[in-house]
Structure 1
């Protein structure tokens, strides 16, 4: 009886080993990597060279921190990459957070399956979307920020705050084609800090740069302060030149007869005109003709008669 039980267990073990050996007759895919271009993540692998009477099909699964920590290390299918004939799979939509992801792929030929082949190390999209290369300088009482090599279709998200007032920070967005940002109306003598991160499609973002803190010198000035100053100086020069031209022209071209039409002498009051005639009559005589024309003055002497 015991001999029969032993033989049964042995036969079952042989059958199971045979089945397991038959399942893993295909080699596992090799060179499994993730290629990222403009934050589109594509899993790629080398096609199998094993003989197969039908088309070799591939399936892809992923495992994030949620599956690893809360779902007991389970794996989820990448739905549009199940039983596909090509050797690549777009996994952008499945890698939806800044976390570490494991990915693996296996091949199928008819009823034969290969073992799963995993990435050499977990993939994190933050390692691909790098922090922006930012330069911060103080210009005209404000901050001048410049960015280099932002990915196409990406923006730089900038945060500026006065040191000690982090809760009152200001936020700016710099498109990749703009590359520069001027922040004006800052308090002179205060210290301001700046951080930035690369953002793509409002959902994918890199880590933040280290905080750049600088002191604002001089007076606060807007981005158009330079042209305002230039315009003021130019206007002043033009006005002064016009005034000087008018003075020199009047000296050079204004003849006495013409100038008199513009510059008239004011008629003297009657009292002063009478006094002037009397003085000229005494000193110059009746032959002198006065130049000033005065109105005729009639002097009436009051005679008081004593009764």
Structure 2
């Protein structure tokens, strides 16, 4: 009899405890805000009397948890017993699968039921904003700089010479690079740039405003050209002066000393002692003839 009474009392206490614990309402208005691959779960503050601060905890369940961990829910490490009504899940939702998410409140020893996000969230549903772009000309190149790019995204940068947009060149740049260098551009020309962020063929942001800058050339290019022209003129003037001075002041004997003529090799010397063989008859006909001039009167 005594044992039965004790069991009934324990049941009443447990029932009262269960009713006490379940009196805390669940969080409401659970939603996901995802911009540029930054995922933040939000909910409304708990409208219930609590003698201490209300704390919240968040769990997630993705494809890996469903298939490999047999449907297990995983605690979001940075969102356990937090006083805020928002939770950054950017680094927790690391795949393109659908994620189930839920949140609950706790007040002292009381815990509310879980409130689940509906529908599940997929990071492909993020909203991409036009990237923050800065364009500067450095020498004959363009430096295109970006800030706060989404994770895993690619930035497509379009560059063209003003007035020739049909010949534009598109440069894909991974988000972690942050700076794009476009070298060897035409000096004195003006180039225009615009960009947009792309996650895949279906997800892309709007384009930035077009920014145009002029290419002034390398900072030292003008100095180098001026120096080269000056050196060339000085060298040519010195050579002309040397030739003119030599032509005026060089005496024959002195010039022979500096302008020594090398003898030709024997193989190139002309042989003027040419003898033509003749027969005896031709030799008799070729007797020398002496011509004497008549005495003048």
TM-score normalised by L of structure 1: 0.43
TM-score normalised by L of structure 2: 0.44
